[in-house]
């Protein structure tokens, strides 16, 4: 009832938590409004520190800090690094691996853990890493490696086994302890137990710091063929006919000699790595790169899963970009000055 002339108005009592004389918490509201500029000022100051002072310190003669800054802020999203040709892509990838190992400063009891692929694509990268090692710039003494896959039923000393591949193309040329180079055993009496033990070894090593991978024209990574679960773990896998046909060239074109099964890390195993770098070169893999970059996650293109990894770097050559939109290529090429900071020379291990 509204108070009119001659009516008795009732005194308004303050609401709980409000000072006398404040209307409906007006005092608290005023205090809240007064705090907003202070919070904004603090936020602006934090942004200033992040964007201005930190880079100034980084460029003031502290290369280690500069690299950590670059690594932290430049790899927290998916990256596509486009180089002119296969050789340049291989060199960029090798420099990145080298810098990551050096920045980590591995030592006894503190190993850098590296996931490795096989096939023709990583050969150029391996040659560069061997070169850095022979120049005294890089040591693998405190590096542990885990390979992606191995054929089932192929003897270790067979020229096409991945044990032979890794030994001949990489391990025998560097100073890695053979006990720290882990490759699945495709002749184990219990293949599932072998897969479980491999996952356990990765866990005991503290997980993978950097998993390097390659893909096939159908987008498979390791032997995770189209249709593989994107949360899969290390397991026994039947190879697709396309993969068997593609591998026949390594077995004198005789399909009867090509293994039809393999042990492989799962997509989920690779996704667990703290960082993933995928090498994609050649026009025959252009459509797979398109599926990985411009379309959504699809279990029929297992490489697309790495869109969801917080630190994925795709390293490719010009030929592999043929299926990408022009604006996509322009966008990522426009970031090359940023990407190249990730491979700026840090320092070599011989200086330590």
Our answer to whether residue 209 is catalytic in this structure is no
> Does the active-site annotation cover 218?
yes
A 10 A CB-CB count for 234 gives 26
Catalytic residue among 137, 199, 225, 275: 225
The catalytic position among 218, 272, 275, 318 is 218
- In sequence order, what DSSP letters do the residues of 90-106 get, joined into one string? HHHHHHHHHHHHHHH--
Catalytic residue check, 299 = no
Active-site entry in 137, 149, 150, 199: 149
Residue matched to tokens 């692929």: 117
- Indicate the Cα dihedral angle 184, 259, 171, 187, nearest 10°: 40
- Number of helices (H) and strands (E), helices first, in the chain? 12, 10
DSSP conformation letters of 26-62: HHHHHHHHHHHHHHHHHHHHHHHIIIIIHHHHHTTT-
Whether 220 is catalytic is yes
Active-site choice (163, 220, 309, 339): 220
Cβ(212)–Cβ(114) under 8 Å? yes
CA distance 267 to 288: 16
Least Cα distance to 168 among 153, 177, 157 occurs for: 157
Catalytic residues: 149, 218, 220, 225
């Amino acid at each position: 009832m509204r108070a009119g002339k001659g009516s008795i108005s009732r005194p308004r009592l303050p609401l709980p938590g409000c000072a006398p004389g404040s209307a409906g918490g007006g005092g608290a509201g005023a205090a809240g409004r007064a705090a907003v500029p202070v919070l904004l000022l603090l936020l602006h100051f934090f942004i200033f520190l992040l964007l201005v002072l930190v880079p100034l310190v980084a460029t003031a003669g502290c290369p280690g800090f500069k690299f950590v800054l670059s690594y932290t802020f430049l790899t927290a999203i998916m990256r596509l690094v486009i180089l002119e040709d296969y050789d340049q892509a291989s060199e960029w990838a090798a420099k990145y691996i080298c810098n990551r190992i050096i920045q980590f400063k591995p030592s006894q009891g503190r190993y850098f853990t590296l996931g490795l692929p096989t096939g023709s694509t990583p050969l150029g990268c391996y040659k560069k890493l061997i070169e850095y090692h022979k120049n005294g710039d890089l040591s693998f003494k405190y590096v542990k490696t885990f390979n992606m896959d191995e054929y089932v039923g192929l003897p270790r000393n067979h020229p096409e086994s991945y044990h032979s591949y890794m030994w001949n193309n990489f391990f025998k040329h560097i100073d890695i302890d053979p006990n720290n180079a882990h490759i699945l055993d495709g002749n184990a009496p219990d293949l599932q137990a072998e897969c479980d033990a491999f996952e356990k070894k990765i866990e005991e090593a503290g997980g993978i710091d950097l998993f390097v991978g390659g893909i096939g024209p159908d987008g498979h990574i390791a032997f995770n063929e189209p249709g593989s679960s994107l949360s899969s773990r290390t397991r026994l896998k039947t190879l697709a006919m396309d993969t068997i046909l593609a591998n026949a060239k390594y077995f004198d074109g005789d399909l009867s000699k090509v293994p039809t099964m393999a042990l492989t890390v799962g997509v989920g195993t690779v996704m667990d790595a703290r960082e993933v770098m995928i090498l994609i070169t050649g026009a025959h893999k252009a459509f797979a790169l398109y599926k990985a970059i411009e379309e959504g996650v699809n279990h029929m293109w297992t490489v697309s899963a790495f869109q969801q990894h917080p630190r994925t770097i795709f390293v490719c050559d010009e030929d592999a970009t043929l299926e990408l939109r022009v604006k996509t290529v322009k966008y990522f090429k426009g970031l090359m000055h940023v990407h190249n900071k990730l491979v700026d020379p840090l320092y070599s291990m011989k200086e330590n």
